[in-house]
Structure 1
Amino acid sequence: MKMIMKITAFIAALVMSASAVSCSSGKHAEIKKLSAKGGYAEKKLEFAYGDLGPASEFTDIGGKVGAVLPFTDELCYISKDGTRIFRDVLPDLDEANNDDIATIFAASEYGYLYWKMNRNVWVLSSDGTENQVSGLENIMYAEFSEDGRLFACNTMGDILEVDISTGDTKKVTGGNGIFSAFDIIGSNIIYIDDDGAHFYDIDSGRETEVPDALKDFLGSYRHERLTSGVAVDICRGNDDDIYIGCPDGLYRYVMGGNIIEQLIDGFVSRFGDPSDEMISLYCGEDGTLYAAFVSGVYSYRFDPELETAAASELKIYTLEKNNTVSKLISGFASENRGVKVDLQVGMKEGMTYSDAMKELTTQILSGNAPDVMILDGLDIENLIDKNMLIDLSENSEKWLPENDLLSNVVNWNDHDGKLCSVACRFRLPAVGAEEDELKKIHSYADIADLCEEYREKYDPKETFMGYYDVNDSVRIGLIYEWNRLFGSSPDKEALTEFFDSCKRIHDAEYAGNAEGSTYWSPDVTSENAFSARFWGALGYKIIATGAVNDISRDMSLLTSVDESVLGKKLSYRLGLNKDSRSFLPVCNIGITQSAKNADDAYSFLAYALKDKTQENGNDYDGFPVNVKALKKIYSRNVNDEYDYTTSLDVYGDDGKVKDTVELDIKSMDNAEVKAFDDYIKSLDEPVYIEYAVREIAESAGEKCLSGTETAEQAAEETMKQLELRMKE
């Protein structure tokens, strides 16, 4: 039986060097950056069927190296010349008639581990025997060792060995928190959890030392620091080395050393694109590297003539790293290889907002200001008052695209003709419930009334708000009430009413309710998960709150609700009440007065606003502001390419499933497009949430929710803290 990674003396080197490096050197990892000339070139392998999709990790079956596709029971394997992907049906999977496989976690000539549509995990042995696996309901990753042993990890922090012939599992060790990497190199499971990087020797059954260089480097990608869905994957090379793929690029580490060499930058490759997701790495016998992404398989070969030196440097600052910013930078860097992008994240590695602001101030005063600032969360008014941002209207020809923009959104922060920031995207606050009950909602207090009414009438063990966190009534409430609370000046009476509503919603949601908090989707923050909650309302009593983010995912779902199928009439409203025209401007970009590279800064802004960039945003980035991009997305209703059918369990008032229905999710039709387009063109109430103010309100709100302060006391504390902040 063959596996991808043939291990000889490498096994010994892996264990021995781990001890030697960590005990003797004590040195931190040295990252060797790209040289000025010569580097690895990325090329997508030809594949006649488009994207690869949710395939397995690379495996070697019958001498063919590739990834196994669910649904089709096929191995997509790399051609001998390394330029194309071919498909080959796998008889053992095909004979098992597994048409309901959703995800394949591990595949080899020893068998397969997969997740079926019914959410159960199954194992198929090489003799064709299929068994359900126990203990892996929350599976994350799985790998076969070279000798055919199967190991997997789950979201509970457990690492288990799976018996391929029976499906039985045995816990071998445990991690701490969520895993962000899980690979087997030789006899070692290499995994990353919330504590950092670990080696676990499957032969001896004990944890071994991790080389210091790897410990530092891999530890930086532990789960709480990852902001995208891109995986960290590790594979063996051909010379006692390993390769690491991560959001920052592709790296090589030689066992026993302290140098980790960067082979390709994440900004100019698939590795750094948060709209894609890496599946697996593989090193060929000739040294060619391959990476499987959802979008396809890519090769990485060394080209001695490749120009990698940058002619200029562009410094970009953001308070918090997120997928929207990462994708923008990745796309810009790919189109502008001569520009080296230096992304500076303010709140990195546990830094507070206050720490980040002190560091930024020091940076600016020392003459090292960023060129571009992603202003989301920052005190824009303060930056404008201190004349730290360029008036973009004076050089609009350098960044304004040829086609129209939604000027009411883009220019929301116009000050008497002076434009120091522009919004590249926006979100829309929304509320949803059954139609008759939605008519009762005109304020956040009305939502509190309805939540209390639901708790009195319906199953006490069910969630009505679909929160991610017990403090969500405050954070989500702020997107509706921000301008009323903190508009021209803080309003104590409004704050008292707001905290009272938050407390009533919280108490009703969690009153004797062990199942109150429900994680609807891991891909979006709670305040932006409106459509996920509305989806919950299709099956049961849910008051959907939060923001709507995009057309293809959110608006298509909202406009596809069919009363004849559901047996009840659900409805939603953009805005808290019928007169609301509020929106949340996001990805707000400004250029600093002291920018040393203003030309590339303008080019970056132009890239962010052009139609192709706007059209290809992530689902949760927010709506485009480019009119041409919007029209392109609207036009999708002319065919059914983006339509799909899904099933949904519908619950009765007693909390029990009474029916399962199928829903057709379709793109908006012409009438729906016109209504939506008219609405967004009438938006005139920007809701810009400043991080420091939100932090003050949430801190006081948390005390109110826990019962240690009344609503009035929470309002007084908020007012006091805001006054202190104004004096700083």
Structure 2
Amino acid sequence: MKKIILVFTAVILVLSLCGCSKQEDNSGIAERPYHEPTGATMEVDFSHAWKAEEIAMPDGFQPNCFYPTENAVIMNVYNINPQDDDVANSGVVYDIASGEMKLLESHGVPIGATETDEGFQILWNVSRYDETENTYLNTGSLVTYDKNFQEISSEDKSGLFEGAYPNFWYQIEDGRQLLCDSGRLYLYSADDTKIGQITGNLSGITSVFEGNGGQLYAFANWGDASIGEIDLDEMKVTLLHLEGEPDNPSNYAPAKDYDFYVTDDYHGLYGLKNGTAELLIDWVNSDVESYGDIFPLSDGSFLKIEPEYTPTRMFSTLLHLTKRTQEEIDNMKIISLAALTQRSELTYVLRKFNRQSDSCRIVLKDYEDKLSHSEGTWDNAINEFFNELISGTIPDILCLDGLDYLALSNKNMFEDWYPYMKNDPDFHEEEYLMNFFDSLTYQGRHERFGFQTYVTTNAVKSQYLPEGAITVQELAEVVDNMPEGMTVGGGADEPERVLHYLLDYADYIDLDNHTCRFNSPDFIKLLEIANSQPKSGLSADSKAWVNDKALLKYSSLHGNGILDLEYFFFKDTDYSFVGIPNSEKVGNGGIFDAASSPFLTMSADSLYKDEIWKFFKFCLSEEIQERAGYSMPIRLEAIQKYYEPYTDADYLSGGSWGDSYGSRSLPPATPEMIDRIIDYAKGISRVQFDNPKIIDIVEEETEMYFSGDQTAEKCAEMIQNRVSLYLSEQN
């Protein structure tokens, strides 16, 4: 096993983990000591990291699925953005020996292929709408091609499609045919006569393939992926429980040296043989998305379709996976990144960065197998990480998801990345939401780095409060004078949720000086406001805000959130963004959501800080920012593009959205609405508090208050004492 172990000095580790002496400056904030970086120490297994190279597709076409033959791979492809005269679906043939690819003349949608003496055959499916019958009718043709991919002949196969809606076709050596139709498998004779259905305990069948010994297997991918053995004599398919296969299997493929290739959602591709699964390809460190079809080539390499999703479209890429040579591995500059889990936003940018980076590679070490998915806890993964940290395992980059940033930062583990940005002549601050980065500072240092967010706030009818930040006392005055029958939150909100909407932890905690004020009148009043919310008995009422039955609507200002506020919750009424109440009216009261972006840190001991800054900057590039998914990007130009689809009636297709309030149709957003959100984002100065220890303390004590087991004053006192103790321990 090839392991890469970076340099480590034990003396420095002890100093950084046990704390170093600090000098106080005039502000009262401790000045961070300096120590010479000695190199991160994380042990990284690189033996299963393959090289992924994109294969160019014919212009406008994306790969969808494979139909392999012995000498060529046929792909069902689709045009991602067809114009009026363009072909929407077609087939591409990839010659395994030469790597040549050719777009075939379309005869519909290819659903299967087979080898012939002349070359190969493809079964094409054409679906047409019959206005007379008011339904879709399927017809098809079997087209024969020579070895140079030239079309020789075409045979009508309408009989095979009569009354069927097939998605996969497989021809058996004796001429009989298997057809997958709506998750069911049927056997046909060579002359297209239906023999009958292959029944059994495997449902949702999507394809068929031949194993090593000529045995036929059916693959099902409706829900959990599974595989079944086909018995044509008995007309039966039997679900197989393969000993040793990985958890969460996602795909199966034939293999020459194994019983099967099996892929899973988290780790990679395995060779399964005699009840043992051998990891062959590590998805993340091979720069490959776990989802998508994979096909083994005769030279030991693989073709893989990598799907990619955004809120506005879905597209896919064809990859060629080859095993790295030892020389390639030895010459790599390896940067280690530790994360408790394989978060999709993080693995995506890692894939993209590594594919284009010539100077270094970032390799992920995760603790996914330690997570208790069934129990929803991170405890085992966190314990494993800290055990390794104490024993001397330090990564170059750390993802903070699930970790106590405050405790780690106070041990001087992290570098301030801001000077690297300031000294980069190619980075232009005016192009970004710099207030987002400033909201992440601690003791004046930019240690945490994020690259996308949500904007969260409370909205209220303008007749009750004007736009802008509010104090707890201003909110209390409005609550005390609410019309009869009005509640603070919506009908479905309980006191715990209302407190979550109203509590700005940063207003009650001074992390720089390790003090808190949870025993203040403001916090006690906030508890009382939240507790005035009915605990049960009220159902969701979509018109509560319009009809003065609810005061505050807590909102995330993503695309759908804008439409909801404007056309649904506050329809035909003016509303204000008032944010989360705080004593000093900091910013405009809005909050950047902490959960929408993986927060990354640069190790103070890393020898590759310049390279890490290049990775951080790549996360802010146009390529990454315009693929921010459902979160808001940080790049201003990308923010405009993020909201553009919600101004397009064609994209919204009438704007039909469904949720707990039922389905509704909403018109598109206006440019003025988008400008309002962006201007609001520019005025935010705080990020959502994400210290798990302190949040747990508050939730435990307020649960006792809301259940009537203690007073608001006692609750505030208990939180004050427990959080004060925690903060003093961190100092």
> What SS does structure 1 have at the residue aligned with 2:415?
coil
Equivalence for 1:420: 447
Deviation at 1:727? 6.2
Equivalence for 1:295: 315
> What SS does structure 2 have at the residue aligned with 1:411?
helix
Equivalence for 2:415: 390
- CA 1:184–1:255 in structure 2 vs 1: closer, same or farther (change >3 Å)? farther
| Contact 1:71–1:100 (CA under 8 A) maintained in structure 2 | no
Equivalence for 2:289: 271
Q: Distance in 2 between matches of 1:650 and 1:288?
A: 41
Q: Does 1:93 align with 2:127?
A: yes
Using the size of structure 2 for normalisation, the TM-score is 0.61
Amino acid at match of 2:556: V
Q: Distance in 2 between matches of 1:163 and 1:472?
A: 58
Deviation at 1:406? 3.5
Q: Does 1:78 align with 2:96?
A: no
1:479-494 mapped onto 2 (5 Å cutoff): 480-486=503-509, 488-492=515-519, 494=522
> What SS does structure 1 have at the residue aligned with 2:506?
helix
- Alignment size in residue pairs: 588
Q: Does 1:477 align with 2:482?
A: no
- CA 1:238–1:438 in structure 2 vs 1: closer, same or farther (change >3 Å)? farther
| Contact 1:403–1:627 (CA under 8 A) maintained in structure 2 | no
Amino acid at match of 2:457: A
Deviation at 1:672? 4.8
Equivalence for 2:242: 210
1:192-231 mapped onto 2 (5 Å cutoff): 208-212=240-244, 214=245, 217=246, 219=247, 221=248
- CA 1:721–1:92 in structure 2 vs 1: closer, same or farther (change >3 Å)? same
| Contact 1:189–1:199 (CA under 8 A) maintained in structure 2 | yes
- CA 1:68–1:587 in structure 2 vs 1: closer, same or farther (change >3 Å)? closer
| Contact 2:461–2:575 (CA under 8 A) maintained in structure 1 | yes
Equivalence for 1:548: 556
1:146-161 mapped onto 2 (5 Å cutoff): 147-148=178-179
Equivalence for 1:21: none
Q: Distance in 2 between matches of 1:447 and 1:630?
A: 35
Counterpart selection for 1:242 from 239, 247, 260: 260
Deviation at 1:489? 0.8
Equivalence for 1:251: 269
Deviation at 1:243? 3.7
Q: Distance in 2 between matches of 1:334 and 1:701?
A: 48
Which one is further off, 539-548 or 384-393?
A: 539-548
Q: Distance in 2 between matches of 1:582 and 1:261?
A: 46
Q: Distance in 2 between matches of 1:149 and 1:270?
A: 29
> What SS does structure 1 have at the residue aligned with 2:414?
coil
| Contact 1:434–1:571 (CA under 8 A) maintained in structure 2 | yes
Larger radius of gyration: 2
1:144-543 mapped onto 2 (5 Å cutoff): 147-148=178-179, 172=201, 186-187=216-217, 208-212=240-244, 214=245, 217=246, 219=247, 221=248, 232-237=250-255, 241-246=259-264, 251-256=269-274, 258-263=276-281, 265-271=283-289, 278-282=291-295, 289-291=303-305, 293=307, 294-300=314-320, 302=322, 308-309=328-329, 311-318=332-339, 321-336=342-357, 339-345=360-366, 348-350=370-372, 358-375=383-400, 378-396=403-421, 401-404=426-429, 405-414=432-441, 418-432=445-459, 453=485, 464=490, 473=497, 476-477=500-501, 480-486=503-509, 488-492=515-519, 494=522, 496-499=524-527, 501-502=529-530, 505=533, 507-508=535-536, 511=537, 513=539
Q: Does 1:663 align with 2:683?
A: no
Amino acid at match of 1:429: T
Deviation at 1:298? 0.8
Q: Distance in 2 between matches of 1:716 and 1:163?
A: 74
> What SS does structure 1 have at the residue aligned with 2:338?
strand
Amino acid at match of 1:339: C
Q: Distance in 2 between matches of 1:387 and 1:656?
A: 50
> What SS does structure 1 have at the residue aligned with 2:604?
coil
Equivalence for 2:605: 594
Equivalence for 1:66: 76
Deviation at 1:315? 1.9
| Contact 1:241–1:252 (CA under 8 A) maintained in structure 2 | no
Deviation at 1:210? 1.9
- CA 1:49–1:495 in structure 2 vs 1: closer, same or farther (change >3 Å)? same
| Contact 2:382–2:402 (CA under 8 A) maintained in structure 1 | no
Q: Distance in 1 between matches of 2:436 and 2:446?
A: 12
> What SS does structure 2 have at the residue aligned with 1:387?
coil
- CA 1:419–1:614 in structure 2 vs 1: closer, same or farther (change >3 Å)? same
Equivalence for 2:22: none
Map Cα deviations across residues 284-305 of structure 1 (whole Å, 9 max, x no partner).
7897634262423414264887
Unaligned runs of 5+ in 2: 1-43, 110-124, 143-157, 171-176, 189-193, 210-215, 308-313
Map Cα deviations across residues 499-526 of structure 1 (whole Å, 9 max, x no partner).
5555555724xx275xx69xxxxxxxxx
RMSD: 6.0
Amino acid at match of 2:535: D
Q: Distance in 1 between matches of 2:45 and 2:413?
A: 35
> What SS does structure 1 have at the residue aligned with 2:667?
strand
Map Cα deviations across residues 313-372 of structure 1 (whole Å, 9 max, x no partner).
212234554333222322222222663433244684129566555544443343321112
> What SS does structure 2 have at the residue aligned with 1:664?
coil
> What SS does structure 1 have at the residue aligned with 2:439?
coil
> What SS does structure 1 have at the residue aligned with 2:668?
strand
| Contact 1:314–1:340 (CA under 8 A) maintained in structure 2 | yes
Amino acid at match of 1:94: R
Bigger fraction of residues in helix = 1
> What SS does structure 2 have at the residue aligned with 1:646?
coil
Using the size of structure 1 for normalisation, the TM-score is 0.61
Amino acid at match of 1:349: L
| Contact 1:183–1:234 (CA under 8 A) maintained in structure 2 | no
| Contact 1:163–1:169 (CA under 8 A) maintained in structure 2 | yes
Q: Distance in 2 between matches of 1:627 and 1:453?
A: 42
% same residue: 12
| Contact 1:427–1:549 (CA under 8 A) maintained in structure 2 | yes
Amino acid at match of 1:548: S
> What SS does structure 1 have at the residue aligned with 2:388?
helix
Map Cα deviations across residues 468-489 of structure 1 (whole Å, 9 max, x no partner).
xx897168426x5323454551
Q: Distance in 2 between matches of 1:107 and 1:262?
A: 41
- CA 1:187–1:247 in structure 2 vs 1: closer, same or farther (change >3 Å)? closer
Unaligned runs of 5+ in 1: 1-30, 111-123, 132-141, 153-159, 223-231, 273-277, 457-462, 518-532
Q: Distance in 2 between matches of 1:606 and 1:305?
A: 29
| Contact 1:448–1:505 (CA under 8 A) maintained in structure 2 | no
- CA 1:346–1:574 in structure 2 vs 1: closer, same or farther (change >3 Å)? farther
- CA 1:182–1:689 in structure 2 vs 1: closer, same or farther (change >3 Å)? farther
